[in-house]
Structure 1
Amino acid sequence: MPKQATPEPSPRKKTARETRATKPRTLAIDIGGSGLKALVLDPQGKALDERQRVKTPRPATPKSVLSALEKLIQPLGGFERVSVGFPGVVEEGVTRTAPNLHPDWAGFDLEGALHKLTRRPVRVLNDAGVQGFGVIEGRGVEMVLTLGTGMGCALYVDGKYVPNLELAHHPLQGKKTYEDYVGQAALERVGKKKWNKHVRKVLDQIQPIWNPRKIYVGGGNARLLDFTLPKNTTVTDNVAGLLGGFALWKNEPVQQ
């Protein structure tokens, strides 16, 4: 009897990572007051892997946060560049303030430290600014508010970012700041019902000052909002804080 041919093995199904252009991949990092998150994005800005998250170490010094980030990114795949959202003022990769982390962040070269850690080019921006790049339409005046440990804020004009608008620390009523009203500490102090009233007051306050065409509300506590939002206001997915990291490398070439 003729020998039967051995059937060819079925080709292995390619993973999402393999079926897309592979370079440059962006490691997106979101440093928050309560959590550190990381994700690798493909050259089109789409997630390649599941988001990784760990609690922000305490005390949240640069040394402890960098150590936690090193462990956080180990399970993720390869990448050619790094984008970072940081909860404070950032100037040319150097962090100037970090009210919800630690005083040691004042004047810390985060860009340089992460470049040394990853051996990849790094870009750092305020975290609300990065989140906005993940959701804005790029038309007119758009504003992003993030509700988490503190309150983040970012402003855009025709898609261009206005850096380091720290609205959270501006007085809202008497000596109390915006963050005093809607940060995590306020939520725990006054409860969800009254906290929602505070958020509504903040939204009402900013409307006649900046007259934004669109307001995007994100952050971990945005899911707790239970009132009818103004017509120009939208709640966004918190993963935008990572996806927006792609925009920090806009116009860079894609390699096949």
Structure 2
Amino acid sequence: MSNTSSPLKVLSIDIGGSHIKATVLDENGAMLVNYSKLETPQPANPENVIATIKKLAEPIDDFNHISVGFPGYVRDSIVKTAPNLDNDAWANYKFGERLTKEFGVPAAVVNDADMQGLGVVSGKGLELVITLGTGFGTALLLDGKLLPHLEVGQSPITRHNSYDAYVGDKAFEAEGKKKWNERMEKVLKVLKTLFNYDTLYIGGGNARELDIKLDKNIKLVTNRDGIKGGARLWAEGQVLQPGKKPSSTK
């Protein structure tokens, strides 16, 4: 790990319900090393997840900042909820602070959809990003700046189902592709009315399963498209652990 006054090199971590991935990015979001991944540990509590991140980072010795995309509600790098991990163990966990102590470099943690959103948006107007995977992730940005995170996935879409339960992995497996697409069609109509966005981006592993007609202002993106978010997180004006902005940005 190098000094924080050096050119920005970000260890970018993506924590998912099934895998944890890692790479290193330069200040423009280009990958300096190939992605590596390990299975998400069980139970997925802070100690086990940190141990897994250490294993992923062990062969990497050249980074000076850390960005983490986390599947839950995060504020100021403090995890509030982790519905698809060991939720109780993560409540009010100072994840960014712990990673800074473990690695000796500034660490920032945001919701995983927020981090992907930073990587894919154009920076023009109101842009909504959704991720379709274990759950239903969302990020909202205005002119390229993250707005306060909303856990839409945990809110109701029907009388008995949250978005997570309605179109998450378990729903896809239980209902099948056709029914799932019908549900997604309903979800997209609701989001269009709710947010009146300029552009909607759809990512996550299940985005490739969509076979419904999409509006012209809806774009499909891949996880690789969102890689730049780990570097852009450290840009001026984004959500960071207080006092931890790198000197290499202006």
Fold in common (TM above 0.5) = yes
User: Is 1:69 paired with 2:53?
Assistant: yes
1:1-256 to 2 correspondences below 5 Å: 23-102=7-86, 103-251=88-236, 252-254=246-248
The sequence identity of aligned pairs, in percent, is: 44
In structure 2, do the counterparts of structure 1 residues 90 and 23 end up closer, same or farther at CA, with 3 Å as the change threshold?
A: same
TM superposition shift of 1:131: 0.5
- What's the secondary structure of 2:128's corresponding residue? strand
Give the equivalent residue in structure 2 for 1:9: none
CA contact (8 A) 1:90 1:124 kept: yes
Q: Which amino acid aligns with 1:191?
A: G
Partner Cα separation in structure 1 for residue 211 and residue 44 of structure 2: 32
TM superposition shift of 1:127: 0.8
CA contact (8 A) 1:31 1:127 kept: yes
Partner Cα separation in structure 2 for residue 253 and residue 120 of structure 1: 13
Partner Cα separation in structure 1 for residue 49 and residue 130 of structure 2: 24
CA contact (8 A) 1:84 1:125 kept: yes
Q: Which moved more, 1:225-234 or 1:24-33?
A: 225-234
Partner Cα separation in structure 1 for residue 148 and residue 112 of structure 2: 11
The count of corresponding residues between Structure 1 and Structure 2 is 234
- What's the secondary structure of 2:190's corresponding residue? helix
Measured against aligned partners, the alpha-carbon deviations of 1:21-75 in whole angstroms (never above 9, x if no partner) come to x722111111111211111011222111111111111111111111111101222
- What's the secondary structure of 1:129's corresponding residue? helix
TM superposition shift of 1:206: 0.7
Give the equivalent residue in structure 2 for 1:17: none
Give the equivalent residue in structure 1 for 2:240: none
In structure 2, do the counterparts of structure 1 residues 206 and 218 end up closer, same or farther at CA, with 3 Å as the change threshold?
A: same
Partner Cα separation in structure 2 for residue 202 and residue 154 of structure 1: 15
CA contact (8 A) 1:29 1:242 kept: no
Q: Runs (4+) of structure 1 moved beyond 6 Å?
A: none
Give the structure-2-normalised TM-score.
0.89
CA contact (8 A) 2:29 2:227 kept: no
5+ residue gaps, structure 2: 1-5, 237-245
TM superposition shift of 1:245: 1.0
5+ residue gaps, structure 1: 1-21
RMSD in angstroms over aligned alpha carbons? 1.5
TM superposition shift of 1:192: 1.6
Higher radius of gyration, 1 or 2 = 1
